[in-house]
Amino acid sequence: MGRSRFLIILTEYFSCDANGNERQGLSDFFDRVRMEGYEVRKIGEVISCGIKFKYVVTNHVISGSTDESKSETTGERLKKVLNRCLLAVGKDPAWKFGVAIDTYLPLQVGKKHIRYMYGADISDGWSLKSWNKIYDIFLCHGVNDEREIRRRFKGKTFIMGYPRYDRFFSKSIDLDNLRHEFNITESKKTLLWMPTLGGEYSSIPLFAKPLSAISKKYNIIVRPHPLSFVQEKDFIGLLEKFNFIIDRSALRDMNELFGLADVILADNGGTPFSAIFLGRNVIFLDVPDDLDASSAGSSIFSGSSVMELKKHLPVVSNHEIERLVTMLDSVAFYQENSECIEALFKEYFDSPRGGGAKRVSEICNSL
């Protein structure tokens, strides 16, 4: 689209957590966006200037609980106009206006709203909840999330594929640096274990010790959710205790990790869908999916489409590591698993692999 066609808006808590501590990876993020030449603004600045963009793209609700907006006084509107004038000449706004806590945040900075779907793992407990009513347009990964969105909401839908994985299908991936970084032995199968963030729904507590028993037979790379390093430090400590190779880079190009792996070990979340889109082999690590309402992840994973995948792909418990080894060493497993992955791709995506960013650009430019 060109960098002049859009800007990035950061929320109030992007830089610091609730305790005022700088968030991990913040400096790396700003180094990257400055190098790429993107324009970035803080949301308080946008609201204080009364700026409302024609279109705002978000991937989830962020904050708020209602689409009702607080009315502005004439004096507030005038101050915001003056703030815009100050901003135009390179000065900071003279008056500050905070985010309205109750109103859905995107509504405070935009007139029309686009939802860029946040992974293909849709669920009634989170991604399909009623806050989606604010969106005029949904950019869907494939036929499955498009179908479920259309059943529930009035916004127009487009299928974009999975833009974040465009590079996977290009010729620009060089895995040699990654093999060196993780000390990969090329004669061994490489397993990419991607535990989700979700307390009891994560496979780390159940599988850290059993998988460590086969860590010499295979290259095992553990890619925890980036927030696990902050919210689930005891899980990270468990991985460290058993000397796993841990990918700690919050800015890792996931195309490279997926490209390096022979098999993806997943539990919940978007990982298995990403693997299916990329045509990678998947084995599920069995974790509870029927925890009660008091459990940390119960609301998020309620009615998750991941449960459907588990009916088609192999699921192993933490007591079945020998069965896992048998599969990993079987030529028949890879053939059967690959055939199943392709059938699931047709069912859940049925969209072109690669070229997603171009499709998103064309959709946005046509609005």
Q: Which pair of tokens denotes residue 116? A: 């860029």
pLDDT score for 276: 97
pLDDT score for 353: 93
Whether 61 contacts 126, CB under 8 Å? no
34 compared with 103, residue with greater pLDDT: 103
pLDDT category, 268, cuts 50, 70, 90?
confident
pLDDT score for 300: 54
pLDDT category, 303, cuts 50, 70, 90?
low
pLDDT in tens, 127-148: 999 999 999 999 999 999 999 9
Element spanning 139, H or E: strand 137-140
Q: What is the dihedral of CA 59, 64, 70, 72, to 10 degrees?
A: -50
Query: What is 169-348's CATH number?
Result: 3.40.50.12580
What residue has token string 């909401």? 153
- Domain boundaries, given as residue ranges, for the chain: 3-166, 169-348
Per-residue pLDDT, averaged over 90-113, amounts to: 94
Element spanning 282, H or E: strand 281-285
The whole model's pTM is what?
Answer: 0.89
* Cα–Cα separations (whole angstroms), residue 224 to 28, 162, 296, 322: 19, 21, 17, 24
163 pLDDT more than 80:
yes
Phi/psi of residue 260, each to 5°? Answer: -80, -25
pLDDT in tens, 228-247: 998 999 999 999 999 999 99
pLDDT in tens, 5-15: 899 999 887 77
Percent of residues, the chain, with pLDDT higher than 90: 74
Element spanning 356, H or E: helix 356-365
Per-residue pLDDT, averaged over 162-183, amounts to: 91
Count CB-CB contacts under 10 A for residue 261.
22
CA neighbor of 207 nearest in space, from 313, 316, 280, 282 = 316
pLDDT category, 295, cuts 50, 70, 90?
very low
